[in-house]
Amino acid sequence: MAILINAETRVLVQGLTGRQARTDSANCLAYGTRIVAGVTPGKGGQTVLDLPVYNSVRAATRDHAVDASVIYVPAAAASDAAMEALEAGVKLVLITSEGLSRQEMARLVASAAVKGARVVGPNTNGIIAPGLSKLGGIGGEDPADIYGTGRIGICSRSGGMSAEIGLSLKAGGFGVSTAVAMGGDRVTGGRLLDYVRLFEDDPDTDAIVIYGEPGSGNEAELARHLRENGLRKPLVALIAGLFQENYPAGMSFGHAAAMISAEGDSASAKRALLREAGAIIAESVSHTPRLLIEAGLQPTLREEIET
């Protein structure tokens, strides 16, 4: 079992005719993802990667059952593309585009909630359920080199760091149930807490690893949840960005959301909040497997742990 996607998830790619979408979709198909069609307005009737291309999501869903859509369109059109998918009944919409406005995301999040759907991203490189399926560019050409199949859930505010965590876990003998790059923009469709709750409810996830950074209220919200409800599963938190505390407030580094605007936005403050709430704080990504072992979990990918 995994969260959000599985081997049966049927996927639509909006913007399939673009270069990045073609590259990522080819890798997804090779991994086993069930992509059923693409959508590019004005290019309906074309075939890309042996997949039919439609002019609209509504036209595609008339011919194909669709569970999820991956959006590869410029930021200026991404909100409309996502809304088109939601209005067509797609229940999981993943937005790779970067830089959607707060107003656009608020509208999408509200619409998804009404329709019982989920939005992942924007500014995400995807989701992977190792051995089952993947959406977006996560894992690259050969995801098996990065993500082993196992029982550790990953949620990261950085797509690149989700891969670093996956590699570290694999080196330490641990596999992954699902890895979610939640997106690096200021407003995202899902909050860190949303994904942690999904992992808490997943019977095939034994522990959770999160990657956080300065800016946004994600980590503080999660810490409040843990204080009020306790930990149901071990949770290891890697919070990067201590260096950023040496710079003036209001400067972002990397992701648009990685900005210290108030004292509680700093990596130090977030580490303290999560530690007090019961999370295990990792000083570096390489420490993660050891911390999981100390929390009582056993490696499943190999007998000897590399240190």
Provide the annotated active-site residues. 255
Query: What CA–CA distance (Å, rounded) separates 161 from 175?
Result: 16
Query: What CA–CA distance (Å, rounded) separates 42 from 152?
Result: 42
Cα radius of gyration rounded to whole Å, the chain = 19
Measuring CA to CA, how many Å separate 186 from each of 10, 136, 178? 29, 20, 23
Could you tell me if 221 and 191 are in contact, meaning their C-beta atoms sit under 8 angstroms apart? yes
Query: What CA–CA distance (Å, rounded) separates 32 from 137?
Result: 14
Residue 62 parent element (H or E): helix 57-63
CA atoms within 13 A on the CB side of 50: 5
Query: What CA–CA distance (Å, rounded) separates 239 from 211?
Result: 6
Name, in order, each residue with C-beta under 8 angstroms of 255's C-beta and a sequence gap of 6 or more. 123, 157, 158, 184, 185, 213, 215
